Amino acid sequence: MFNLSSNNTDLTLRPKVVFLNSVFLFAGIVAFGMGFYRWQASAVMGAIDFIFTSCCFTLVYYLNRHQGRVEIISSIALLLSYGLFTAIYLLAPYNTTRIALFFLLSASAFFLKGKRVGFIWLIIILSTLVMGHYLPGFDTAYSHIDIVTACLYLLALFFIFLNYEIFKEKVNEVERDKDVLRLSEERFRAMVENGNDIISIISNAGVVHFISPSVKSVLGFEPGELLGKSINELIDPNEQPKAAAALANALAHPDGEALEQYEFRMKHKDGSYRDVEMVGRNMIENPMIGGIVLNGRDITKHKRLERELERHAHIDVLTGLNNRRYFFELAEQELARSKRYGAPLVVLMLDVDHFKLANDTYGHHVGDMVLQKLSEVCVQTLRAIDILGRIGGEEFAFLLPETLSGQALEVAERLRLAVAGATVILETGKSVHFTVSIGVAQLAATDTKIEDMLNRADIALYSAKSTGRDRVCCEGIQSGR
């Protein structure tokens, strides 16, 4: 930033340095020659010329060693010139063209100091011409019409400079705008071509008119493969209604404002799906764009992590079944549905027989293996619509929708036998067998919450354990070996 600022300063001051060097050298030489001539007519004027000459050469010397002080030196130059030109105006009436010196002064002031200070110098020069013409004791040898004409010419010259400056500023402004636009276009192109986000433009019917090269890294397609196709071809069929709603929302906001974000599962070229977060702007009315601009960001990893965290919040880590909290949440929903539609519902309470003894004999590691094997058998034996949960250490609860008590007894007995036939192979090569006791309870008209059913199933489970274990009990009905 510092170097850039210095360069900009050099660009501004350098022309002034060159101009002042030229003016000082030229004016010093001219004043030195004129000094000899004017000395013949007036010793005062000759002395003024020689003093002006020495000042010019001194300023040249100082300027070339202190170019950073060009603004101060230019002010001194204007004051010296004004003093000399005023003296010539008042003391050299034989020079009929001396009034033209003020034209040079006005132009120099405008160039060196800008519009505002140039205008101030114009007022000073005009005042000097008028007051000097009427000053007692001096004869300028100019007529009134000469002074009026000179003042008008000075005004005209100033307005020429002023309009040229305005024109130059407009041209520079246009050039700056072009540079800014060019840089913006280059940056936008670089962002589109090298960014990770998918930038696309679609019609009001969802047809792709433009899509950035980044689509290849996200969805595997070359941009040319998607041009002229509907964006819906990339969206999961299950999410088509959401896509239609998003397009309708975009068309309803033609003002170009950023719309709400949507998340879509979008098809990869290999047939898999990616999660993409998308936001759009309706720029159809913009003639440079003429479509809906979509900005899509790949959030597949984020969504995968989100689903994993959600799964961990619901799943028992050891067994992979629903944990206690989530089992109760699902069970309450199923209970409400069954009561609303009058559908049968059964709950099984299951407990591993002598689990503490197995832990004490083989260690907790083997106990964990037993619970994992039990979960595996339950998943294989029960239906996909059944709700399985681990609600305690070795206690499990299973909810069986659309199931009568007789059917539930058959399922529980089949489950008991499957568990009894399962084997846990230890690292030593030894095998461990285990059994379970199961209590069964059916939904009653008086049940208002899932705990009511679980309590009765728990009583049935206690009955199964107290009558020998490895058996099934259902509210007074017993089954077993």
pLDDT tens digits along 377-432: 999 999 999 999 999 889 999 999 999 989 999 999 999 999 999 999 888 888 89
pLDDT confidence of residue 189: 60
CA distance 413 to 418: 9
Q: Provide the residue ranges of all domains of the chain, joining segments of one domain with +.
A: 2-174, 195-299, 309-479
Contact 294, 199 (CB under 8 A): yes
Which residue's entry shows tokens 């619509």? Answer: 385
Structural element, H or E, at residue 186: helix 144-194
CA distance 272 to 268: 5
Fold agreement (195-299, 309-479):
no
φ, ψ at 260 (rounded to 5°)? -65, 155
Contact 170, 268 (CB under 8 A): no
Contact 178, 139 (CB under 8 A): no
pLDDT confidence of residue 182: 65
For the chain, the 3-state helix, strand and coil shares in percent, each to the nearest 5, are 60, 15, 25
pLDDT confidence of residue 199: 83
Beta strands in 193-343 (DSSP E): 198-202, 208-211, 262-267, 273-283, 291-298
Q: Are strands 431-432 and 387-390 parallel, antiparallel or unpaired?
A: unpaired
Torsional class of 268: left (φ above 0), alpha (ψ -120 to 50), beta (otherwise): beta
CATH class of 309-479: alpha beta
Which residue's entry shows tokens 């008086």? Answer: 446
Contact 415, 378 (CB under 8 A): yes
Beta strands in 151-212 (DSSP E): 198-202, 208-211
pLDDT confidence of residue 376: 95
Q: Is 117 helix (H, G, I), strand (E, B) or coil?
A: helix
Residue of 235, 232, 186, 194 whose CA lies nearest to 212:
194
Q: Are strands 436-442 and 472-474 parallel, antiparallel or unpaired?
A: parallel
HEC sequence for 8-42: HHHHHHHHHHHHHHHHHHHHHHHHHHHHHHHHHHC
pLDDT confidence of residue 469: 93
pLDDT confidence of residue 26: 77
CA distance 95 to 87: 12
CA distance 349 to 400: 11
pLDDT confidence of residue 325: 92
- Judging by beta carbons within 10 Å of its beta carbon (0-12, 13-18, 19+), is residue 435 exposed, middle or buried? middle
Q: How far from 457 is each of 338, 342, 454, CA to CA, in Å?
A: 18, 20, 5
- What the block records as the tokens of 187 is 């940056």
Whole-angstrom Cα Rg for the chain:
49
Contact 290, 302 (CB under 8 A): no
- What the block records as the tokens of 121 is 């110098």
State pLDDT tens for residues 118-175: 888 889 988 988 888 888 878 888 888 888 888 888 888 888 877 877 777 777 777 7
> Domain 195-299 sits in which CATH superfamily?
PAS domain (3.30.450.20)
Residue type, 237: P
Q: Where are the alpha helices (DSSP H) in 210-294?
A: 215-219, 223-226, 240-251
pLDDT < 70 regions, the chain = 1-12, 41, 177, 179-195, 476-481
225 half-sphere exposure, CB direction, 13 A CA radius: 11
What does the CA dihedral 28, 31, 32, 38 come to, rounded to 10 degrees? Answer: -170
Q: Is 442 helix (H, G, I), strand (E, B) or coil?
A: strand
Question: What number of other Cβ atoms are within 10 A of residue 272's Cβ?
Answer: 11
What does the CA dihedral 365, 371, 374, 376 come to, rounded to 10 degrees? Answer: -80
- Supply the pTM of this predicted model: 0.46
pLDDT confidence of residue 8: 46
Estimate to the nearest angstrom the gap between the alpha carbon of 132 and the chain centroid: 67
- What the block records as the tokens of 16 is 């002034």
Give the DSSP letter string of 408-438: HHHHHHHHHHHHHT--EE-TTS-EE---EEE
